[in-house]
Amino acid sequence: MRISTSTIYDSNVAALNQQQARLLHTQQQIATGRRILTPADDPAASARALEVSQSDAANTQYADNRNAARHTASLSESVLQSVTRLLQDVHATAINAGNGALSNADRKTLATDLQGRLDELGALANSTDGIGNYLYSGFQGRTQPFVNTAGVMQYQGDDGQRMIQVGASRRMAASDSGADIFMRIKNGNGTFVTQAATANTGSGIASLGLVINPAALLTGNSYQVTFTSATTYDVTNTTTAATVSTGNAYVSGQAISFDGIQFDISGAPLVGDQFTVAPSTNASLFKTVSDLISALNTPIAAGNAASSAQFTSSLNRALNGLDRGLDVVLTVRASLGSRLREIDALQTTGEDLGLQFKQTLSQLQDVDYNQAISDLTRQQTSLQAAQKSFLKVSDLSLFNYI
Amino acid sequence: MSIFAAGVSALNAAQAGLATAAHNIANANTPGFNRQEVLLGARQAQNTGAGFLGQGVDVSTVKRVYDEFLSGQVMQEQGQSNYLTTYYTQIKQLDNMLADSNAGLTPALQEFFSAANGVANTPESQAARQTLLGSAQALVANFQSLNQRLTDINNSVNGQISSSVTTINGYAQQIAALNQNIVRAQATFNGQPPNDLLDQRDQLISQLNQEIKASVIKQSDGSYNVFIGTGQSLVVGDKAFTLRSVQSLSDPAKLEVAYAGSGGTTTRLQQSSLQGGNLGGLMTFRDQSLDAAQNALGRVAMGLAGTFNAQHQLGQDLRGALGGNFFAQPVPVVNNNTANTGSAVIGASVSSYAALTTSDYSLRFNGGTAYTLTRLSDNTVTALNLSTPQTVDGLAISASGTPAVGDSYTIRPSVNGARDIALALTDSAKIAAAAPMRTGEALINAGTGKISAGTVNAPPPVNGNLQALVSIAFTSANTFTVTGAVPPVVGAVSYTAGAPISYNGWTTQISGAPAAGDTFTVSINNNASADNRNALLLAGLQIQNTLEGGTASYQGAYAQLVSQVGNKTREMEVTSLAQAGMLRQTVQAQQSLSGVNLDEEAADLLRYQRAYQAAGKAMQIANTMFDTLLNLGR
């Protein structure tokens, strides 16, 4: 085949250009450490890399969010730990106050001590995160949640619970409403509450009681046990004004049951003494403690069985309220604990996931140095060969011999 | 004496051969040069009765070694190669722009949502809010700068179209002039071919092909008629038509190509007919890749602004006011064709960002209230009756005024998305991190019923009574009454644990076992500095598939753009390389016939030198013969 002289030059230049372009590409890959220099190098992988990098960024973000959640949970946990200790102290004091050897003056001293604990409880409930945001005021971070209005602690916050995105599909509560911790504590046994009337003259004391038939209790009605003599009593449903039973024989400590409710009365009630049974309502921790204080402040008339029985009733109610309050606080602490544990678990998963994303990203867009360097050497050799052979070929001419 | 005559003719022939070889050597590197060769023919012999005695040699012509078919093939391949290379060079700019996944839109988008998460974590923190505004500003700036790059590329395409048109005009005039010269030269010199003029004209045609695909029809007088594209005449005989770049009727930001008539009039060409070459490459790149890239980027910006705003409007800011727009919302562009005679105004707005495509649309009025909408990406045609607004592909289209039949409009939904997105907020307190209502349960509730935090019903605008106090009071364990709802709820509503309860534009759930007498409230969310419900939803938009028919997140839609550009660049790179290889092969074939080989010419030089010497020797011998004769008489 006839070859034109310019073809020899043109095709060699084109070949050299192509080889140089390839060499430069490999060199740039090595210099930047990236396999994909522009999306055109591997369009599918570069689009995939963008998506993976978003997943990776979101995953990193969740780790930050988890730290924020852990921070508030730890803060709340340490406050509630103090609350627990405080309630246990108050509980011990209340038990101590039941000691019959104590005088009215001794009880007053205990009351003074408890007043201090009550103020402390208020301060704990109004804890802030250190930069002025209340922990237990729901959504109203800048509103003091618990305010003492005329001796009664009122809740000013709301039921808002802040959630934090701690995983791609997991939102975790980062705060708890103060109402749930300090205000919504059911009195009595949680279903109904028994109480002796203040005008009682006997020494009868009603127990907490228990529910023996939940289905029948759904009435939610209130009842009254009225003693018609020291040994007999009537039961009426005060909600419907219906008589439940009459002329029941009273034995101290023997179970009294009706409509699924069962409790007992011990001691010696007198004619006209009344005991009420009503559905449980919410009593705040503050009210429980302040009721205890006022009970301690009320002197027991010496030798007055009724007065003594009332004190015992109040004390029992306070101890029950403290137990139930402690229960609530411990439940919240348990939930905080499980949240913290879940955060730790999510953290581990998140780190594993992050590692996988990084690996995928690296596989998608990072250069394989072994491959690249061997490519570079090969391309270098072939470029050198092309250059040398071009020199030889272009040197050949008949004119050299004319 | 025929020996002298034959000798002289041989000398002349050898000289012609040497001159041609020298000419070939001289033009070995001249573009478009075809090697020439001398055609010799023996002279008519003299009849002597004793046979025919030769009279020497004649140079019958000098012809160029030229194959019309091969040259035509080179031109075609050259035009296609330039088309692909230009397209590749242009789209490579887009490819480079999107090259680094660690710079550009991706990190800006991620930082923006990271800041949104920061606000969700600490909604009361001014620092977190300020960070969100700052990163939103950075994101917006990023969109705008990417868009600016695309606009710059469009401007540069316009510039290149102008200069390409100028170049084409230049070639056309030169070809017309050469046509004239060639016809004249052939007429003057008995039809002898003016080789070098022919080469020049062929070279011009080849150069013209590099600008735009051109075809040639050879006329009997030796002139060429040249047509471009799909048959638009550019040169007819010695007359050249002039092209001009003019503003597009449907989009003032684009240049198009038209014929320049006499007196400054223009006749527009069908733009799709301009194929091949640089100009074809530029046009196709602009229509297929640049517009698509700008639309795709704009759609990400528009979708982000639209969906983020919609969620933001469902929230409440730090001061207790309802959320406004977070971003300034870009809107679709409607261009009236400048040739329209009617006075109709076409309105287009986005009704669904999920349904929005990256295509442009062309709308044409057919009379009455009938319009035809063509989606330009795939030429899907939809007939529309615009007596009432219609929605197509997430685009609500309306018409008012009086159109004239044949009027057309171009609707470009997202072209300005990335340009027009801006931050609408400057006050960090106006970030609507909270929800405008909150739920609560009375402290004295005896049952175990719990009310959920509640959500605001999408889409905005929010219900006017959203923040009105609504109380839900249980009259029994299974029924409740609602007060404060608009319209009022009459009678008791039966209760199902966990079922959604929705009034006044909000939805909540009550679960557990409420007791008779329990009350729950939904009320205005005053002082809610720690409420992050809306911020949480805003931050969650990052991984929600809000675009592309609900299949792509913002990042996903951007990744689609990157993948589209990457794929097209890859395609162009590969095909332009393949075409370059093809072109090399064809040029090689053409050159192997018509190109100059210096060794061959060296051999020719030797051959004709020898011939010249031999002819000289023949004359010397003839001279000696004469001397012999003359000496006879002495």
Neighbours of A96 (CB within 10 A): 12
Strand partners, A61: none
Instruction: Please measure the distance between the N-terminal and C-terminal CA atoms of chain B and give it in whole angstroms.
Output: 22
Is B592 in contact with A281 (Cβ distance < 8 A)? no
Q: What kind and span of H or E run contains B390?
A: strand B390-392
* Residue count of chain B: 634
Name the region of B498 (left: φ>0; alpha: ψ -120 to 50; beta: rest): left
Q: Region B397-419: what's the mean pLDDT? A: 92
Q: Does B594 touch chain A (CB under 8 A)?
A: yes
Is B92 in contact with A40 (Cβ distance < 8 A)? yes
Q: B 31-60 residues with CB below 8 A of A?
A: 35
Is B531 in contact with A160 (Cβ distance < 8 A)? yes
Dihedral sign, Cα of residue B15, residue B18, residue B21, residue B25: negative
Is A51 in contact with B588 (Cβ distance < 8 A)? no
Q: B 518-547 residues with CB below 8 A of A?
A: 525-533, 536, 539-540, 542-543
Closest Cα in chain B to A40 = B566
Distances (CA, A) of A160 to A165, B220, B526, B534: 16, 94, 12, 13
3-state secondary structure chain A: CCCCHHHHHHHHHHHHHHHHHHHHHHHHHHHHCECCCCHHHCHHHHHHHHHHHHHHHHHHHHHHHHHHHHHHHHHHHHHHHHHHHHHHHHHHHHHHHCCCCCCHHHHHHHHHHHHHHHHHHHHHHCCECCCCCECCCCCCCCCCCEEEECCEEEECCCCCCCEEEEECCEEEECCCCHHHHHHCCECCCCCEEEEECCCCCCCCEECCCEECCHHHHCCCCCEEEEECCCCEEEEEECCCCEEEEEEEECCCCCEEEECCEEEEEECCCCCCCEEEEEECCECCHHHHHHHHHHHHHCCCCCCCHHHHHHHHHHHHHHHHHHHHHHHHHHHHHHHHHHHHHHHHHHHHHHHHHHHHHHHHHHHHHECCHHHHHHHHHHHHHHHHHHHHHHHHHHCCCHHHHC
What span, in angstroms and rounded, lies between the C-alpha atoms of A271 and A225? 11
For residue B310, what are its two tokens?
Answer: 């919609």
Q: How high is the pLDDT of residue A218?
A: 58
ipTM above 0.90, yes or no: no
- Please state which of the ranges A116-120, B159-163, B185-189 shows the lowest mean pLDDT: B185-189
Mutate to test the interface with B, among A2, A3, A4 (most CBs of B within 10 A): A4
What span, in angstroms and rounded, lies between the C-alpha atoms of A163 and A72? 11
* Residue count of chain A: 402
- CA max distance for chain A: 152
For residue B429, what are its two tokens?
Answer: 């307190």
What span, in angstroms and rounded, lies between the C-alpha atoms of B588 and B1? 49
Distances (CA, A) of B483 to A29, B451, B522: 70, 16, 10
Question: Shortest Cα distance from A239 to chain B (angstroms)?
Answer: 13
pTM across the whole model:
0.87
For residue A265, what are its two tokens?
Answer: 């009365």
* Peptide bond before residue B487 is cis, with ω within 30 degrees of 0: yes
* Nearest beta carbon to residue B99 from set A39, A155, A175: A39
Q: Give the mean pLDDT of chain B.
A: 91
What span, in angstroms and rounded, lies between the C-alpha atoms of B454 and B439? 7
| Residue B253: DSSP 8-state | T
Task: Scan for tokens 């044949």, then name that residue.
Answer: B406
Instruction: Please measure the distance between the N-terminal and C-terminal CA atoms of chain A and give it in whole angstroms.
Output: 24
Distances (CA, A) of A162 to A82, A136, B509: 23, 11, 17
Q: Nearest-CA neighbor of A199 among A227, A221, A234?
A: A227
CA A146 to chain centre: 20
Task: Scan for tokens 């733009």, then name that residue.
Answer: B271
* Nearest beta carbon to residue A159 from set B28, B441, B569: B441
Would you place residue B607 in the very low, low, confident or very high pLDDT band (cuts 50, 70, 90)?
very high
For residue B329, what are its two tokens?
Answer: 């919302």
Closest Cα in chain A to B111 = A57
Q: Which residues of chain A have pLDDT under 70?
A: 215-219
For residue B379, what are its two tokens?
Answer: 């030429």
Task: Scan for tokens 């949680």, then name that residue.
Answer: A190
| Residue A39: DSSP 8-state | G
Question: Shortest Cα distance from B618 to chain A (angstroms)?
Answer: 25
- Please state which of the ranges B223-237, B259-273, B393-407, B613-627 shows the lowest mean pLDDT: B259-273
Mutate to test the interface with A, among B300, B563, B564, B575 (most CBs of A within 10 A): B563
* Peptide bond before residue B403 is cis, with ω within 30 degrees of 0: no
Is A282 in contact with B445 (Cβ distance < 8 A)? yes
Is A398 in contact with B528 (Cβ distance < 8 A)? no
Task: Scan for tokens 């049951």, then name that residue.
Answer: A257
pLDDT digits (tens, 9 = 90+) for B275-304: 889 999 999 999 889 999 999 999 999 999
Contacts of A225 (CB under 8 A, 6+ apart): A233, A234, A235, A256, A265, A274, A275, A276, A277
pLDDT digits (tens, 9 = 90+) for B300-337: 999 999 999 999 999 999 998 999 999 999 999 999 88
Is A5 in contact with B28 (Cβ distance < 8 A)? yes
Closest Cα in chain B to A57 = B110
Is A141 in contact with B124 (Cβ distance < 8 A)? yes
Contact A379, A25 (CB under 8 A): no
Strand partners, B216: B226
Contact B120, A164 (CB under 8 A): yes
- Please state which of the ranges A385-394, B47-56, B536-545 shows the lowest mean pLDDT: B47-56
For residue A246, what are its two tokens?
Answer: 């009459």
Question: Shortest Cα distance from A141 to chain B (angstroms)?
Answer: 5
- Sort out which chain B residues have CB atoms less than 8 A from A397's CB and list them: 598-599, 602
Is B98 in contact with A47 (Cβ distance < 8 A)? no
Q: Is the pLDDT of residue B264 over 80?
A: no
* Nearest beta carbon to residue A58 from set B99, B542, B563: B542
Contact A216, B511 (CB under 8 A): no
* Nearest beta carbon to residue A54 from set B529, B555, B598: B555
Contact A311, A300 (CB under 8 A): yes
Contact A19, A382 (CB under 8 A): yes
Q: How high is the pLDDT of residue A216?
A: 62
* Nearest beta carbon to residue A161 from set B453, B565, B587: B453
Three-class secondary structure of residue B497 per DSSP: coil
Mutate to test the interface with A, among B554, B591, B607 (most CBs of A within 10 A): B591
What is the interface size between A and B, counted as CB pairs within 8 Å?
A: 220
Q: Region B592-621: what's the mean pLDDT? A: 93
Question: Shortest Cα distance from A2 to chain B (angstroms)?
Answer: 5
Q: Region B173-177: what's the mean pLDDT? A: 95
pLDDT digits (tens, 9 = 90+) for B484-527: 998 898 889 999 999 999 999 999 999 998 988 899 999 999 88
Question: Shortest Cα distance from A232 to chain B (angstroms)?
Answer: 32
pLDDT digits (tens, 9 = 90+) for B212-249: 999 899 998 889 999 987 788 899 989 999 999 999 88
